[in-house]
Amino acid sequence: MAKKVRMGFIGVGAMGYSHLQVFHQQCKKQAVAVALCASNRERIRRAQEISPDMELFKKESDLIESDLDAVVISSPNFTHVPLALNCLKAGKHVFLEKPVGITAKECAQLLKATQKSDRVLMIGHELRYSAYFTKIKKLINQGAVGTPLMTWCKEFRGPFQPKSREWIQDRRKSGGCLVDKNCHHFDLMNWWMASRPKRVSAFGSNAVNRVISGPNQVHDHASASWEYANGAKGTLHLSLFAHKPPKETLEMGVVGEEGILQTDLDNLNLLHWKKGKRKEEPRIIPVKATRGVGWGGHLGFAEIHPAFIKAVQAGKSPLTSVENTIDGTLLAIAAEESIRTKKTVTIK
């Protein structure tokens, strides 16, 4: 039996705490939480209730250099790449919360570092690990819609939850709302379409959820349209003032010349319209999928953690490596640039 993966955690806010729970409790036969670096005393206390024997570190660098196999990074977005690079340099495996980075330069730096390293670095795009979203990928590959020509995402939800020092509200620290949260959806759509996004035009502003003063407040609503290298098209519509938390409504889908696949997430069904069928009603495809712990109960959250441990123990590149997911983050970064410059942006 493989030895347990010794894990350290940087950040135990909402996501970091949920990662700690799953790795230390639900994956306890394969992993153990042995170290923590955080600044909020109440969050540290709550984390210690999960794993009382964790060693506490005041400096991230000291934790990274300690006796660990892997580090879980759930700190603010602007710290992701510097910390991940230090972890790889120290020979540690890395579970890195999304996004890949908050600038194209950061993304390129991390990609280059992972290509040179024999350590596993997994990006926390848990949705790819869910049976629900994987089913869409399989159906597309099986020809359910023919050639996929369009994909879309509509997310109408409530505002961001409060973060330490409101970093998420400052685009210089979070990368912007499309980078922080919709990199998930861009990543899924890129995966389904099996092509790289080429250029994007986006619009957005802050109309309701003003939290910080000045020009760097993130948008609270936006729309984006982009084109893939193979000629397919994508669209995204976002509102962060449509509902009160924790209500979230997410609709995604793919259109091809032979049909349509659309999500019904409330019921964990897929809706499939096939061209040429006489009935207008879609075929309903139920999917057995597990909702995760923590904010939103995100699909794939229960599966991504054992997948990380398996990748570490087998020494294999994960499904959500930097190479596999970088385009979702680059598309989000380019969309934010398009909003600022009022121009169509080519993604390099």
98: left (phi over 0), alpha (psi -120 to 50) or beta: beta
Whether the pLDDT of residue 102 is over 90: the answer is yes
The answer to whether the beta carbons of residues 128 and 134 sit under 8 Å apart is: yes
Whether the pLDDT of residue 114 is over 80: the answer is yes
The predicted structure's pLDDT at residue 91:
98
Range with the poorest average pLDDT among 21-35, 88-102, 294-308:
294-308
The predicted structure's pLDDT at residue 348:
87
Range with the poorest average pLDDT among 169-178, 211-220, 244-253:
244-253
CA distance 261 to 272: 5
The predicted structure's pLDDT at residue 317:
95
Domain ranges within the chain, ordered by starting residue = 5-125+304-315, 127-303+324-346
Whether the pLDDT of residue 248 is over 90: the answer is no
Q: What is the CATH number of domain 5-125+304-315?
A: 3.40.50.720
Residues 159-166 have a mean pLDDT of: 89
Residues in the chain: 348
The predicted structure's pLDDT at residue 293:
73
Q: Does pTM top 0.85 for this prediction?
A: yes
Which of these, 71, 311, 44, 45, lies nearest to 303 by C-alpha position? 311
CA distance 154 to 137: 19
Fold of 127-303+324-346: Dihydrodipicolinate Reductase; domain 2 (3.30.360)
**Continuous H helices in the chain:** 14-21, 41-50, 60-65, 80-89, 104-116, 131-141, 171-174, 177-180, 183-193, 301-314, 322-341
Residues 55-63 have a mean pLDDT of: 98
| pLDDT classification of 26: cutoffs 50, 70, 90 | very high
Convert the pLDDT of each residue in 205-221 to its tens digit.
999 999 999 999 999 99
The predicted structure's pLDDT at residue 295:
58
3-state secondary structure 290-304: CECCCHHHCECHHHH
Convert the pLDDT of each residue in 293-329 to its tens digit.
765 578 999 999 999 999 999 999 999 999 999 999 9
